[in-house]
């Protein structure tokens, strides 16, 4: 693995930004001293809530008898929907998401009542004693069933350019097929948790592990019938979120706040891992049906695709996820004639939600699958078919949704990786190995990515910040973003330090707090640094203007003559150290703090026509993976990975490489070992690490070469950096297609192996069996 220290100095800019500094909490993470919500010392009188869950996938509730629950040791109260003074709803967009089920239940695991007890275990034990009578209703459990029955969460999205069917008909070759890719549990190490503390005059203070404090504030206020200014939501850090705490933290925040308001006691809701997996939504699994027409050189003439996801019982974020899937079906390829349908089936399962990539991985993997098919059909190297279809720089550069790709670096990025990874020679070596080995088979794949950066809801692309300079020169920055391990607070502190020309040690980022910066967007869509970094820079610049004015008033010159670097301000021959400057400013009654704001420019999006410019810019990347499978057992090993990823002009190469490596391994888990399995009654049976296999340290390749592409953002982003949180998820496509390549070798690459995701050993073996002997 790359060490940040190995990065060439030329890639680092001056000042605190651009440096591979360690995460601001690294010393706390590794020593166990970082405070997560469950580590906050509890107030006297704290109570604990647990949830009673539905045992039926779809049923009318005939009666609820909670007498045994109430009688259980330690129980203080039991709450149902009837106890909610305001709205019984925690849906982020559509109001179809009850906090506690009322009248009907819609999935196994749906919370029906909350039991509040004087210990955590007493609450959990009592939550199992509810006696609920149901009348079963027909349940829809899979996206296929939903599609058959026309059960969608919203009208299917349809984007069309040119004449796809005609283009397919006119092409020399055609193929059609279908496949599916499974969902994924976020598996944040810190489970969902909220700690609500009632305050005077009906106020409510909630510590909530959430990516979206403002949304939590709104939901709690609605549920308790309070104005927003009575509710304060705070989060110092999450132990991971990965999209699973964008909307889905809402139910637990509301239950904690509801119980705290009713009982006038502090109440904590902390989910056990199994309950967390049974209750909360995951990445959407998708089914795809496609048809493509193409030429002998691999050029795609026309393509149609229908993608149907498992939405779950409520809308949640399934709409924006379907939109992002639709806007990423093109990935790095120009598709002249294309017809894309994207829909979310309403199923009686957990309500699926955001997960790193937010539909983009699911959209883009479809075109990669199609290209993989085309290459095998034509007997070409898939890399050549990919390159044949890349977006052009000056032509063939408009996406199906009408946005011009202006910052395309995919050609040079892939060319560099092809060379540094020794792709062509290794392709020959793999073919030779497979000739010589009957049982062990190797596979190789290089896959590219292009990822659009911005929320696909335009007005979410705004942020605010506060910068305070205290009289001792120390600086506190607060902003609307949340820290979930990705290093946002480190980058924001670097940005402020860089702007003020001072060492990073002067600056500290504080907990996100709805009473400091209001009306924030979720820290999501990878845009945390882009948005909040610009807002923090704006705040720091406003203070600088005041400081400069003070110096100009004293020494003459203009504002532009003042510079800030190396912990001092300079104006002509005058130099003031940072502490002197700050002290002088205070004594001269200059305001030493400021707010800042940012709204991403250039965006427009028409939700009806699905056209516009939904993204400020694109991130790019590519990866080469080499795998070895055992064709008798389906077991496999990832031998080597080479990644080249575009983070623009990186603000912190150490953090960015960490994000790339983390996303790669996380997506590898999604595409290989992480299998969600519901039984025929609709019960999720893989609800703990015993049955749900996330990657471990020894699943990482021994040879893992991750490099950042030498680039700067063509758009005016913060210090010309690019967002990095989600895009590298797509890099792990290379693992999936390397596996498919290895499988195809058992039939001399003449057949397209029917491989669905996750490509578990079992599925790999099934695919081998399916094609063996057919050729
Ligand atoms: N990295 C860590 N360590 N933990 C996380 O939960 N979430 C990812 C990504 N990287 C996540 C992470 C997701 S889903 C997103 S959208 C971004 O971080 C959000 O943070 P950013 O916008 O600051 O990159
Ligand atoms: N990503 C994450 N969350 C979102 C998005 C997005 O693109 N759009 C709306 N909510
Ligand atoms: Mo990330 S899925 O946008 O929280």
3-state secondary structure 221-283: HHHHCCCHHHEEEEECCCCCCCCCCCCCCHHHHHHHHHHHHHHCCCEEEECCHHHHHHHCCCE
Residue 725 CB less than 6 A away from ligand 1: yes
Residue 212 CB less than 6 A away from ligand 1: no
Per-residue pLDDT tens over the stretch 324-342: 999 999 999 999 999 999 9
Mean per-residue pLDDT for 344-358? 98
Per-residue pLDDT tens over the stretch 28-71: 999 999 999 999 999 999 999 999 999 999 999 999 999 999 99
User: For atom 7 of ligand 2, which residue has the closest CA?
Assistant: 455
Q: Is 408 helix (H, G, I), strand (E, B) or coil?
A: coil
Residue 543 CB less than 6 A away from ligand 2: no
Q: Residue 204 is inside which H or E element, if any? A: strand 204-208
Alpha carbon distance 204, 258 (integer Å) = 10
Alpha carbon distance 758, 674 (integer Å) = 7
Q: Are 635 and 699 within 8 A, CB to CB?
A: no
Residue 676 CB less than 6 A away from ligand 1: no
The number of residues making up the chain comes to 775
Mean per-residue pLDDT for 531-543? 98
Residue 523 CB less than 6 A away from ligand 1: yes
Residue 527 CB less than 6 A away from ligand 1: yes
Mean per-residue pLDDT for 311-329? 98
Which-ligand-closest: CA of 186?
1
Alpha carbon distance 610, 155 (integer Å) = 13
Whether the link from the prior residue into 697 is cis, omega within 30° of 0, is no
Query: Would the pLDDT of 542 be above 80?
Result: yes
Mean per-residue pLDDT for 307-336? 98
Which-ligand-closest: CA of 488?
1
Which structure tokens are listed for 222?
Answer: 């609605």
246 catalytic? Reply is: no
What's the 130 CA to ligand 2 centre distance in angstroms? 37
Which CATH class, in words, describes the domain spanning 286-456+607-774? alpha beta
Of 370, 333, 342, 330, the C-alpha closest to 284 is 342
Half-sphere exposure for 653 (CA within 13 Å, toward CB): 24
Beta carbons within 10 angstroms of residue 566's beta carbon: 15
Per-residue pLDDT tens over the stretch 384-439: 999 999 999 999 999 999 999 999 999 999 999 999 999 999 999 999 999 999 99
Alpha carbon distance 521, 528 (integer Å) = 9
- 549 backbone dihedrals φ, ψ, rounded to 5°: -60, -40
What's the 241 CA to ligand 2 centre distance in angstroms? 14
Which structure tokens are listed for 563?
Answer: 């510079």
Residue 530 Cα: closest atom of ligand 1? 22
What's the 246 CA to ligand 3 centre distance in angstroms? 7
User: For atom 12 of ligand 1, which residue has the closest CA?
Assistant: 486
What's the 520 CA to ligand 3 centre distance in angstroms? 15
- Give ligand 3 pocket residues (Cβ under 6 A): 211, 243, 246, 354-356, 358, 524-525, 726
Residue 490 CB less than 6 A away from ligand 1: no
Per-residue pLDDT tens over the stretch 228-272: 999 999 999 999 999 999 999 999 999 999 999 999 999 999 999
Q: So what's the pLDDT on residue 16? A: 87
Q: What is the DSSP string of 694-761?
A: ---GGGS-SEEEEEE-S---SS--GGGB---SSGGGGGGHHHHHHHHHHHHGGGTT-S----PSS--H
Which structure tokens are listed for 693?
Answer: 């296999």
Which-ligand-closest: CA of 492?
1
What's the 453 CA to ligand 3 centre distance in angstroms? 12
Alpha carbon distance 319, 154 (integer Å) = 7
Which CATH class, in words, describes the domain spanning 9-29+462-520+528-599? alpha beta
Which-ligand-closest: CA of 455?
2
Residue 487 Cα: closest atom of ligand 1? 23
Q: Give how far Cα 85 sits from Cα of 71, 103, 184, 197, 262, Å.
A: 25, 17, 35, 18, 10
Q: So what's the pLDDT on residue 48? A: 98
Residue 486 CB less than 6 A away from ligand 1: yes
Alpha carbon distance 361, 329 (integer Å) = 9
Which-ligand-closest: CA of 453?
2
Residue 369 CB less than 6 A away from ligand 2: no
Q: Give the mean pLDDT of the chain.
A: 97
Residue 524 Cα: closest atom of ligand 3? 3
What's the 379 CA to ligand 2 centre distance in angstroms? 39
Residue 211 Cα: closest atom of ligand 3? 4
Alpha carbon distance 196, 611 (integer Å) = 43
| DSSP bridge pairs for 184 | 283
What's the 240 CA to ligand 1 centre distance in angstroms? 8
Query: Would the pLDDT of 13 be above 70?
Result: no
Residue 522 Cα: closest atom of ligand 3? 4
Q: Which of 210, 356, 619 to mutate to test the pocket of ligand 3 (most atoms within 8 A of CB)?
A: 356
Give the strand order in the sheet containing 574-577.
562-565, 568-571, 574-577
What's the 274 CA to ligand 1 centre distance in angstroms? 23
Q: Is 669 helix (H, G, I), strand (E, B) or coil?
A: helix
Alpha carbon distance 584, 690 (integer Å) = 62
Query: Would the pLDDT of 658 be above 70?
Result: yes
678: DSSP letter? B
Q: List, by residue range, all CATH 3.30.365.10 domains of the chain.
A: 9-29+462-520+528-599, 54-138+186-279, 286-456+607-774
| pLDDT band (50, 70, 90) for residue 773 | confident
Of 446, 607, 616, 597, the C-alpha closest to 534 is 597
Q: Are 646 and 722 within 8 A, CB to CB?
A: yes
Query: Would the pLDDT of 12 be above 70?
Result: no
What's the 525 CA to ligand 3 centre distance in angstroms? 5
What's the 525 CA to ligand 2 centre distance in angstroms? 5
3-state secondary structure 478-515: EECCCCCCCCHHHHHHHHHHHHHCCCHHHEEECCEECC
Alpha carbon distance 655, 481 (integer Å) = 16
Q: Which of 451, 522, 523, 600 to mutate to test the pocket of ligand 2 (most atoms within 8 A of CB)?
A: 522
Q: So what's the pLDDT on residue 774? A: 80
Residue 317 Cα: closest atom of ligand 2? 10
Q: Which of 190, 306, 483, 726 is catalytic?
A: 726
Q: Are 643 and 728 within 8 A, CB to CB?
A: yes
Residue 484 CB less than 6 A away from ligand 1: yes
Q: Residue 688 is inside which H or E element, if any? A: none
Alpha carbon distance 508, 500 (integer Å) = 13
Which-ligand-closest: CA of 355?
3
Which CATH class, in words, describes the domain spanning 54-138+186-279? alpha beta
| DSSP bridge pairs for 294 | 173, 300
Give me the helices (H) in 329-459, please: 360-378, 382-389, 410-420, 423-436
* Residues in Cβ contact with 8 at an 8 Å cutoff, skipping those fewer than 6 apart: none
Alpha carbon distance 531, 597 (integer Å) = 9
Residue 454 Cα: closest atom of ligand 2? 7
Q: Is 211 helix (H, G, I), strand (E, B) or coil?
A: coil
| DSSP bridge pairs for 338 | 161, 303
Residue 452 CB less than 6 A away from ligand 2: no
What's the 242 CA to ligand 1 centre distance in angstroms? 6
Residue 186 Cα: closest atom of ligand 1? 6
**Residue corresponding to tokens 């309403």:** 346
Mean per-residue pLDDT for 642-652? 98
Which-ligand-closest: CA of 246?
3
What's the 524 CA to ligand 2 centre distance in angstroms? 6
Residue 324 CB less than 6 A away from ligand 2: yes
Residue 243 Cα: closest atom of ligand 3? 4
Q: Which of 358, 663, 729 to mutate to test the pocket of ligand 3 (most atoms within 8 A of CB)?
A: 358
Give the strand order in the sheet containing 111-117.
75-79, 111-117, 47-53, 267-270, 193-198, 204-208, 231-235, 512-513
């Amino acid at each position: 693995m790359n060490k940040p220290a190995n990065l060439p100095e030329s890639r680092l800019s001056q000042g605190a930004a651009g440096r591979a500094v360690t995460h601001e909490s690294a010393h706390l993470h590794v020593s166990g001293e970082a405070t997560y919500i469950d580590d906050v010392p509890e107030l006297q009188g704290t109570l604990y809530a647990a949830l009673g869950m539905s045992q039926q996938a779809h049923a009318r509730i005939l009666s609820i008898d909670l007498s045994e629950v109430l009688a259980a040791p330690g129980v203080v109260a039991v709450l149902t929907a009837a106890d909610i003074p305001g709205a019984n709803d925690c849906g982020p967009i559509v109001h179809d998401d009850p906090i506690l089920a009322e009248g009907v239940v819609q999935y196994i695991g749906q919370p029906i009542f909350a039991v509040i007890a004087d210990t955590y275990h007493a609450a959990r034990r009592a939550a199992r004693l509810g006696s609920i009578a149901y009348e079963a209703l027909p349940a829809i459990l899979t996206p296929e069933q939903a599609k058959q029955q026309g059960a969608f969460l919203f009208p299917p999205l349809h984007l069309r350019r040119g004449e796809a069917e005609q283009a397919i008909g006119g092409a020399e070759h055609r193929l059609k097929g279908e496949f599916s890719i499974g969902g994924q549990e976020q598996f944040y190490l810190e489970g969902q948790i909220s700690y609500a503390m009632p305050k005077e005059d009906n106020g409510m203070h909630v510590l909530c592990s959430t990516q979206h404090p403002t949304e939590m504030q709104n939901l709690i206020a609605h549920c308790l019938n309070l104005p927003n200014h009575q509710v304060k939501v705070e989060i110092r850090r999450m132990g991971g979120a990965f999209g699973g705490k964008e909307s889905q933290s809402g139910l637990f925040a509301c239950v904690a706040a509801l119980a705290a308001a009713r009982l006038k006691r502090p109440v904590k809701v902390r989910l056990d891992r199994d309950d967390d997996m049974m209750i909360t939504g995951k990445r959407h699994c998708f089914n795809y049906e496609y048809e493509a027409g193409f030429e002998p050189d691999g050029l795609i003439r026309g393509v149609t695709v229908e993608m149907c996801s498992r939405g779950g019982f409520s809308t949640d974020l399934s709409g924006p996820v379907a939109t992002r899937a639709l806007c990423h079906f093109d990935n790095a390829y120009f598709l002249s004639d294309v017809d894309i349908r994207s829909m979310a089936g309403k199923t009686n399962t957990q309500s699926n939600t955001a997960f790193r990539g937010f539909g983009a991985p699911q959209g883009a993997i479809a075109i990669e699958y199609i290209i993989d098919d085309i290459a095998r059909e034509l007997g070409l190297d898939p890399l050549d078919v990919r390159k044949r279809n890349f977006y052009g720089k000056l032509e063939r550069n408009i996406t199906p949704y009408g946005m011009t790709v202006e910052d395309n670096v995919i050609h040079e990025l892939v060319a560099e990786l092809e060379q540094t990874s020794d792709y062509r020679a290794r392709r020959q070596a793999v073919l030779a190995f497979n000739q010589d080995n009957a049982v062990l088979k190797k596979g190789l794949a290089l896959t590219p990515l292009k990822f659009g950066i911005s929320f696909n809801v335009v007005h979410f692309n705004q942020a605010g910040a506060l910068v305070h300079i205290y009289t001792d020169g120390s600086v506190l920055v607060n902003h609307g973003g949340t820290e979930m391990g990705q290093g946002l607070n480190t980058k924001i502190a670097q940005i402020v330090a860089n702007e003020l020309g001072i060492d990073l040690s002067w600056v500290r980022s504080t907990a996100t707090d709805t009473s400091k910066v209001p009306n924030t967007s979720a820290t999501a869509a990878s845009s945390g640094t882009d948005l909040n970094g610009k807002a923090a820079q704006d705040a720091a610049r406003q203070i600088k203007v005041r400081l400069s004015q003070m110096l100009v008033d004293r020494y003459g010159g203009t504002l532009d003559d003042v510079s800030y670097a190396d912990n001092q301000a300079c104006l002509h021959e005058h130099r003031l150290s940072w502490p002197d400057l700050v002290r002088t400013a205070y004594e001269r009654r200059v305001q030493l703090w400021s707010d800042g704001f940012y709204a991403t420019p250039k965006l427009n999006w028409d939700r009806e026509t699905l056209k516009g410019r939904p993204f400020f810019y694109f991130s790019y990347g590519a990866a080469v993976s080499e795998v070895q499978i055992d064709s008798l057992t389906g077991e496999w090993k990832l031998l080597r990975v080479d990644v080249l990823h575009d983070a623009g002009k990186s603000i912190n190469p150490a953090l960015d490489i960490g994000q790339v490596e983390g996303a790669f391994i996380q997506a590898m888990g999604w595409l290989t070992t992480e299998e969600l399995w519901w039984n025929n009654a609709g019960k999720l049976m893989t609800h703990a690490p015993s049955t749900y296999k996330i990657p471990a340290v020894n699943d990482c390749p021994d040879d893992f070469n991750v490099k950042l592409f030498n680039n700067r953002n063509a758009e005016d982003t913060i210090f010309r950096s690019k967002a990095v949180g989600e895009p590298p998820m797509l890099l792990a496509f290379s693992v999936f297609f390397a596996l498919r390549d290895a499988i195809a070798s058992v039939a001399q690459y003449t057949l397209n192996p029917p491989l669905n995701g996750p490509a578990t050993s079992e599925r790999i073996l099934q695919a081998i069996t399916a094609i063996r002997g057919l050729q």
